[in-house]
């Protein structure tokens, strides 16, 4: 195993050696007790990279003395899965000794570990589903994606999902310390260098060990061979790996965090989540589109400058590209976070859509229709239309909604930002129209 990567050589072989996930592996934890009693059914382990999903599956196989088969959902075919099922069926049949020098072979459980189970296609799922259901194989799946979205519901219903968390800094320190004591005894590590590795690992044990192995090799040719300094770590590693998948659940969780931070007027958090997404490789124009949406949904007419500013940011990103365009997005996000908030137009439009969906779609009132031809005029198209400019202040009452929605009110201005002034204007309009209102069986309805 000396040729194997440090992370492989340091893989724990028992629950007591395992770092992190104490809610699963601590003495007395339900998961551990079930495994040690060989009562653990099919499970899916869901968590970020490098938190011990594969290791946990191997430990379960060890403590249960199961026949362990590991496949990747990316490369495993139906033929391979059926081969493992055949082995599992044979394992369930005890083999009696046929000669004096032989021993009975007891029945044995089979664990099928599927890495990246979220990539399982329908054919693969159909191939193993009956055997998971009848207990021929015990399935342990590992995934970094939310299994609710990525795993077939039939298979998911036959498994229990366990959530694994990113390792704490103390857990990573323990992982590094054990590697130094076991595999890298001759390497001396400065405290600042060790803390840099902990920080750069970002809760990923595999990443921590890979970085440590790289830094150890670099340190061998340093000014002081065998001494790992902060400068060596910074030179060898350069930057941490950002945990972000722009095509997975993290994509939606991050944009949700950004949008809700803007809505909550938290400029610091808004800038943080924007940067996290950009550094993780998110498409800048996707972010620009979502930022425009924030301007219309959450700021609205409380600050009409928000929308043109976000459009300008989108144009800047398109024009100058990245990384310079990031500042345009940051400026827009900061402005939106600090702007007064209103969802009045957003709610009004939603109410309009609901009426379009649920209420009858009456014809357009005749006085609002265009009458470009003689026939249309003879049919009273445009008849009775009142030209607002002919009246004082450009205001006059006339029914502009269909009959079924006569008197309906949708827009309710807030008292925030520019919309406060717009609300006053709307009240003034309503008052003038009331005075001019004529022969309406349903009172004019407006917001005051």
The average confidence (pLDDT) of the chain is 85
DSSP 223-235: SSTTEE-HHHHHH
Q: Predicted confidence band at 94 (pLDDT cuts at 50, 70, 90)?
A: confident
Does 2 have pLDDT greater than 80?
A: no
Element (H, E) at 43: strand 43-46
In angstroms, the CA 386 to CA 237 distance is: 74
pLDDT of 7-55, one tens digit each? 999 999 999 999 999 999 999 999 999 999 999 999 999 988 889 999 9
In angstroms, the CA 59 to CA 17 distance is: 10
Q: What percent of the chain has pLDDT over 70?
A: 91
Does 444 have pLDDT greater than 50?
A: no
In angstroms, the CA 295 to CA 316 distance is: 17
Does 442 have pLDDT greater than 50?
A: no
Q: Which residues contact 425 (CB under 8 A, 6 or more apart)?
A: none
Task: Identify the pLDDT of residue 106.
Answer: 67
Q: Predicted confidence band at 235 (pLDDT cuts at 50, 70, 90)?
A: confident
Task: Identify the pLDDT of residue 240.
Answer: 61
CATH number given to 249-338 = 1.20.272.10
Output the six-digit token pair for 427.
Answer: 């009240």
Q: Predicted confidence band at 247 (pLDDT cuts at 50, 70, 90)?
A: low
Residues 432-448: what's their mean pLDDT?
54
Q: Predicted confidence band at 209 (pLDDT cuts at 50, 70, 90)?
A: very high
160-163 and 67-72: which strand pairing? unpaired
Q: Look up the pTM and report it.
A: 0.65
Q: Which residues contact 59 (CB under 8 A, 6 or more apart)?
A: 12, 13, 14, 15, 18, 35
Task: Identify the pLDDT of residue 175.
Answer: 94
Residues 244-256: what's their mean pLDDT?
73
pLDDT of 405-416, one tens digit each? 877 888 888 888
Q: Are 49 and 204 in contact (CB under 8 A)?
A: yes
pLDDT of 161-189, one tens digit each? 999 998 999 999 999 999 999 999 889 99
Does 440 have pLDDT greater than 50?
A: no
User: Closest by alpha carbon to 77, among 141, 134, 121, 143?
Assistant: 121
The yes or no reply on domain 169-237 and CATH 3.40.50.300 is: no
Give me the CATH topology for the region 21-163: Rossmann fold (3.40.50)
* Domain ranges (residues) in the chain: 21-163, 169-237, 249-338, 360-436
Adjacent-strand bridge partners of 141: 44, 114
Element (H, E) at 193: helix 191-201
Give me the CATH topology for the region 360-436: post-AAA+ oligomerization domain-like (1.10.3710)
């Amino acid at each position: 195993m000396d040729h194997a990567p440090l992370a492989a050589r340091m893989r724990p072989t028992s629950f007591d050696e395992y770092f992190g996930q104490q809610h699963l592996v601590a003495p007395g934890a339900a998961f551990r007790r079930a495994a040690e009693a060989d009562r653990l059914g099919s499970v899916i382990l869901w968590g970020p990279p490098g938190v011990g999903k594969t290791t946990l599956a191997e430990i379960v196989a060890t403590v249960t003395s199961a026949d362990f088969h590991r496949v990747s959902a990316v490369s495993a075919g139906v033929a391979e899965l059926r081969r493992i099922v055949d082995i599992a069926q044979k394992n369930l049949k005890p083999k009696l000794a046929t000669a004096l020098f032989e021993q009975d072979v007891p029945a044995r459980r089979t664990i099928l570990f599927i890495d990246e189970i979220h990539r399982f296609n329908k054919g693969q799922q159909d191939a193993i589903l009956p055997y998971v259901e009848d207990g021929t194989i015990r399935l342990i799946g590992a995934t970094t994606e939310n299994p609710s979205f990525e795993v077939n519901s039939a298979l998911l219903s036959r498994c229990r999902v366990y959530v694994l968390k990113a390792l704490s800094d103390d857990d990573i320190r323990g992982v590094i310390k054990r590697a130094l004591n076991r595999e890298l005894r001759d390497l001396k590590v400065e405290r600042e260098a060790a803390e840099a590795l902990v920080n750069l690992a970002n809760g990923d044990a595999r990443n921590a060990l890979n970085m440590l192995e790289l830094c150890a090799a670099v340190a061998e040719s340093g000014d002081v061979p065998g001494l790992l300094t902060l400068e060596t770590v910074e030179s060898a590693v350069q930057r941490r790996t950002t945990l972000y998948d722009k095509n997975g659940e993290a994509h939606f969780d991050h944009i949700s965090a950004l949008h809700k931070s803007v809505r909550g007027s938290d400029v610091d958090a808004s800038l943080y989540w924007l940067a996290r997404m950009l550094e993780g490789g998110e498409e800048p124009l996707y972010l620009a589109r979502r930022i425009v949406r924030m301007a219309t949904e959450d700021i609205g007419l409380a600050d009409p400058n928000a929308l043109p500013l976000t459009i300008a940011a989108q144009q800047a990103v398109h024009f100058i590209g990245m990384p310079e365009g990031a500042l345009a997005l940051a400026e827009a996000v900061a402005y939106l976070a600090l702007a007064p908030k209103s969802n009045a137009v957003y709610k009004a439009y939603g109410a309009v859509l609901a009426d379009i969906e649920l209420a009858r779609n009456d014809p357009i009132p005749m006085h609002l229709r265009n009458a470009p031809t003689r026939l249309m005029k003879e049919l009273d198209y445009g008849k009775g239309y009142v030209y607002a400019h002919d009246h004082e202040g450009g205001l006059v009452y006339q029914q502009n909604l269909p009959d079924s929605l006569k008197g309906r009110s949708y827009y309710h201005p807030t008292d925030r930002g520019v919309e406060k002034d717009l609300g006053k204007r709307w009240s003034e309009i309503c008052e003038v129209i009331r005075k001019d209102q004529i022969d309406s069986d349903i009172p004019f309805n407006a917001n005051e």
